[in-house]
Structure 1
Amino acid sequence: MADLKAMCDEFAAAFEAGESPNPADWLQRVAEDERQDLERLIDTYLMTAPRRAWDAKAYETSLARVAVEQVLESRNGVSGTWPELLPRLRKRARLKRSELVAGLSRALGLGEAPATIEKVGVFYNGMEHGTLEARGVSQRVLDALAGLVGTTSEALRAAGGSGPPPNAGAATYARMAAPAPTYRAESADRAESADRAEDAEDAEDAEDAEDLRLSVPEPMDVEEAGERDLIDELFTGG
């Protein structure tokens, strides 16, 4: 059994040293049946912890801002809580975004052609940033993604805030097609910048900070697109 008081003291020491400890990291270090008790200890500490002077510059690249942005993307987007859940699962699986996208393309049987991986990446980026409607993502995609990040497709579907996918070809998606070129370009830039940041020191934090410095695209404009293909069907056809 873990020494929860000692772990809370360790968290407090990091916090008071000016670091930005993530409570989730501490909770992952204890057994599942102990997490609620440790969470309560950390919450109690944070309610009484010494206040820090506000550092706007530090906040710009902090995990706190990452967390806030992910919550906002979940609340304001069309992908449920995927913007919070998917990055966490991906990092737990120790996968860069580019690695996950390539693996997802293979798992879906789409191959490894650069153009194919790029298009899969555009749609996956929409899932992480709340701009791709969860109800349009097929069960096949969720099954493949769940296998890559170590969860279940049911958990992903529930986090997306949608029930079972609609019938293929339903009128709801009759007008949906490939993402608009402008969306694709923005998404590619976001993913490339984030993956470059992952190679820097403290890569995980840098990746999230770089994501936040880049503009978040609006929900996919699917009316500007051309002919639909299998990738479109998998990510928007339910």
Structure 2
Amino acid sequence: MKRCPNPDCRSEFFFGDAKTHCPFCHSVLVQDTAPAASPRVSLPLSPLVSPPQAQAEPVFMQHGRGGITCTGRVLELDHQAVFYSRAHKLFNALVRREPYQFAHQTLEYTVRVEPITDEVPSEVTDFCLYGNCLGRIQIGDEVRIRAKEQGGHRVVKSIYNLATGSEVKPGLQLSATAIWLTLGLLAALLAALACTVVYLFRSGVVAAFLLALLAACMPLFIMLIGFWILFRSVFPNRRRRR
């Protein structure tokens, strides 16, 4: 084996006997019977870098006062469009707690969501979305859904698409709670009106009002009857003679 004798070359490589000159400094190689120690490569000291920590998986279902918050991945997206009459849509809003849609057709979406995980998902859940979607979601998108429990199913209030950074909301519609509140307010007004009428009759105010109205209108009636009698006396009916 040969090595380079030049101390400034700092070449610690060994070459075969066929090599005559150093490829770095072009010095004549000499024979070296003692094998040199294996070269050590000194690396610059690098600051201590902590290994990356695995990100915690988001909580799949969270229940709070404002409803349900679900963070997951869209597994299925089913769409259905049906034509209901106004009475049928009002019945569904009162009984099934569905929002009242002002469009000619009733749109229903079923969104099935699974947890965001690299493993086999342990659970899935369904959400109901009513009305036109102002935005788009596709199967495989990671979403954050805000919903509320109504009539035994979860009705979507809004969906935030984590993949596109956009929010998906239902179109123009009237919630079942608003319809119930409106009907309750009308029923309370009718009950108050009925109680007021009954109180007026029992207190005698209505009877006094009717007597005063009759007393005020009686002279007018007498005058009309007098004019009618006078008119009939001046212009009597002429019957045809046979």
TM-score by length of 2: 0.15
Q: Bigger relative contact order, structure 1 or 2, given CA contacts below 8 A and separation 6+?
A: 1
TM-score by length of 1: 0.16
Q: Which has the higher strand share?
A: 2
Q: Which has the higher helix share?
A: 1
Q: Which has the larger radius of gyration?
A: 2
